Amino acid sequence: GAGVSQSPSNKVTEKGKDVELRCDPISGHTALYWYRQRLGQGLEFLIYFQGNSAPDKSGLPSDRFSAERTGESVSTLTIQRTQQEDSAVYLCASSLAAADYNEQFFGPGTRLTVL
């Protein structure tokens, strides 16, 4: 079956512009996560959605970052007024549910470059 997909694969933007990154989770997965991976670093948690519950935004680094999810489907991560330090790979993952153990399946990520 189809895995987690993300678009675009690569995005180059100018400092100060807004960008939108998209994630399509695996069908039926109620939990969705966004992570950021800076060059040569591990993944940092950004935000988590679980069904219709309020999202956990505790990992968002600033108010320039926001994310939405429509029901249990597509999610978009928006970065406003991009800065050079926002350059990173943004990875999305989904799982059946957050309760107990359910494997998180990752998408291929979006590489964002801010010039």
Q: Look at the block and give the residue holding tokens 């970065």.
A: 79
Rg over alpha carbons for the chain, rounded to the nearest Å, is 13
Contacts with another protein, 12-51, as mask; x by CB under 8 A: -------------------x-x-x----xxxxxx--x-x-
Q: How many residues does the chain have?
A: 115
Q: Is 92 in a helix, a strand, or coil?
A: strand
> Under rule CB under 8 A, which residues in 56-115 are in contact with another protein?
56, 58-59, 89, 91, 93, 95, 98, 100-104, 106-109, 111
Contact 4, 25 (CB under 8 A): yes
Residues that bind another protein (CB under 8 A): 31, 33, 35, 40-45, 48, 50, 53, 56, 58-59, 89, 91, 93, 95, 98, 100-104, 106-109, 111
